[in-house]
Amino acid sequence: MTLTTRLLNKAARIILIGAPGVGKGTQTERLLSRFPELASISSGDLLRENVRKKSPLGLKAETAMQAGNLVPDSLILELISSEFKSKGWLSTSPDSSISSNASFILDGFPRTAAQASSLETLVPINFVVQLVTPPAIILSRIASRWIHEPSGRVYNIDFNAPQVPGKDDVTGEPLTQREDDSIETWKQRLHKFEETSRALLEHYERKGCLWRVEGNTSDEISPQLFAEIERRFC
């Protein structure tokens, strides 16, 4: 990946929507390097931090998270708006409307159309990226993914194979496949994503800020995404 950076001419308030395994994390990292004014906020990370700290919000969210359910919208909105405020991203103008000059990528939020509507009252999102990789490709990528449990190093036998098959490059210890990497689990996850993302995508389609990008790998997607952000914001 190129290390060239670009400055934004106007605030970019971005959301990436994509199935699990599509590489949202990878694209976010690359965007943060390419556009240094961007910051990212992950609702999952914020929630886990609150759970760890045993904050009142964390205690309320914990049960839902442990059961693999979404936490209630009111909690997540409280969390996001207090994070925006603490970062100084929300300013109140004389007519008391809220505005933001910050540029950011939100990760994991909004997850539902209702959350998207609430977010609009806080800061209107102006670019929504739908990352698309065919499910069959995602599944084959998962099937070839091996990890070194103690360090969290991830290998992929198709494009990032360990030097010695089945062994970690650094320690030489055996690699394993995570139990939750089973294809059946992933098929269910992808199916659930299709169902739950539909209303969210429709919401942003109606608002006219949805843009779709397709690729079989992150490397195919990144250049298209960079170019579109530069076209819109630089």
**Contact between 43 and ligand AMP per CB under 6 A:** yes
Residue 27 or 115: which CB sits closer to ligand AMP? 115
76 scored as a contact of ligand AMP (CB under 6 A) = yes
Q: Which long-range contacts (CB under 8 A, 24 or more apart) does 214-217 make?
A: 214/132, 214/133, 215/132, 215/133, 216/133, 216/134, 216/137, 217/23, 217/133, 217/159
Q: Which two tokens stand for residue 151?
A: 């360090």
CB 16 within 8 A of CB 28: yes
Check residue 71 for interaction with ligand AMP (CB under 6 A).
yes
C-beta closer to ligand AMP: residue 29 or 230: 29
109 is an interface residue for ligand AMP by CB under 6 A: yes
Tell me how many degrees the CA angle 49-78-80 measures, rounded to the nearest 5.
Answer: 60
Give the total of residues touching ligand AMP (CB under 6 A): 15
- Residue selected from 6, 99, 108, 122 as contacting ligand AMP according to rule CB under 6 A: 108
C-alpha span between 41 and 186 (Å, rounded): 25
> Which member of 2, 36, 39, 44 binds ligand AMP (CB under 6 A)?
44
Could you tell me the smallest distance in angstroms from the CB atom of residue 192 to ligand AMP?
Answer: 11
If the CB atoms of residues 80 and 175 are measured against ligand AMP, the closer one turns out to be 80
Provide the minimum distance between the beta carbon of 222 and ligand AMP in the complex, in angstroms, as a whole number: 21
197 binds ligand AMP (CB under 6 A): no
Pinpoint the alpha helices (H) of the chain: 24-34, 43-53, 56-66, 73-86, 113-122, 135-143, 183-207, 218-233
Q: Which residue is nearest to ligand AMP (CB)?
A: 44
Decide if 129 contacts 135 (C-beta within 8 A): no
For residue 85, which of 105, 67, 102 has the smallest C-alpha distance? Answer: 102
Determine whether 94 is exposed, middle or buried from the number of CB atoms within 10 Å of its CB (0-12, 13-18, 19+). Answer: exposed
Q: Could you say which of 11, 64, 132, 137 contacts ligand AMP (CB under 6 A)? A: 64
Q: Does 111 bind ligand AMP (CB under 6 A)?
A: yes
Would you list which residues are annotated within the binding site? 21-26, 43, 48, 69-71, 108-111, 115, 145, 154-155, 178, 189, 218
- The site for ligand AMP (CB under 6 A) is made up of 43-44, 47, 64-65, 68-71, 76, 108-111, 115
